[in-house]
Chains A and B, each alone.
Chain A
Amino acid sequence: MDTPKKPNTRGILDWFDPRGRNVGGWGFIINRLSAIGLTVYLYLHLYMLGKLAQGPEAFDAFIETAKQPAIMFGEMLVIIAGLYHGLNGLRIALNSFGIAVPAQRQLLYGVVGITLIGTVVFGVRMLTAH
């Protein structure tokens, strides 16, 4: 049994405190950071898709811009965050309903593994598509 983590007393700073944090705790931190990143991306994505209403010139020009390396790098971050957050969320959902609770640590390693493999697949696909 790991040492119990002390109560949250310093707000956000506590998220990065490695003391007394077990594997599941790190899983939680990455879940939360990816959540924040994906939320920012979601509203940016909705805003940019507004160009669809402006017509082909505006939207297709935006699609061309999106093929720049910096944007593609950002998209890869979205892929990593999305894969991790989605798969880890599935793990949490299963465990929340009492399924596979004893295997939660192994499942987390699986989540990380599939995220890494998925990232490579998406990266290769993205580089070869353009």
Chain B
Amino acid sequence: MQNTLSQPKPGESYLLWLIKIVSGVLILAVLIIHFLVNHLFAPNGLLSHAEVVAYYRNYPIVPIMEGFFLVFVVAHSLIGSRSIILDLRPSPAVLKVLDYLFIAVGLFATAYGIWLLFAVINFGV
């Protein structure tokens, strides 16, 4: 099994590979907190709208944490999707278009998520 060690694949820079690994570990850490709070401590296993708003306002660290969680998980999902695509051996031209598409999706998802965090914090204000 020595040859199954994870390493950057052709077309994937060392930096992207490293971000994938590091963001993965960070996601795991935040996901545990995310789960405890949103599902284990929630009375019915799921928070209501009012509970989410109160929770974000009472504990400002929570929306900050969720914001970082968003960036880590979006980056990880897109770098991961890209490495799956690399296995399908796209031509350099196709890969270039896909790279722009991944960047666009990442920027849009991050902007949307941060907008949503503020929309929850400021709801009804």
Contact = CB atoms under 8 A, between A and B. Distances in A.
Contacts of A19: none
Interface in A22-47: 22-25, 27-28, 32, 35-36, 38-39, 42-43, 46
Nearest to B87: A8
Interface in A74-113: 82, 86, 89-90, 92-93, 95-96, 101, 104-105
B24 A43 contact: no
B82 to A, nearest CB: 11
Interface size class of A (residues with CB under 8 A): 35 or more
A68 to B, nearest CB: 12
Contact of A92 (B6, B27, B48, B120): B6
A125 interface: yes
Interface string B25-47: 10110010000000010001111
A49 B44 contact: no
Interface string B57-89: 000000000000010011001001100100111
B88 A63 contact: no
Contacts of B2: 101
Given A46-B116, A52-B49, A101-B2, 9 more contacts: A11-B88, A36-B84, A42-B77, A46-B70, A46-B112, A63-B48, A92-B21, A93-B25, A126-B45
Interface of A: 4, 8, 11-12, 22-25, 27-28, 32, 35-36, 38-39, 42-43, 46, 49-50, 52-53, 55-56, 59-60, 63, 66-67, 82, 86, 89-90, 92-93, 95-96, 101, 104-105, 125-126, 129-130
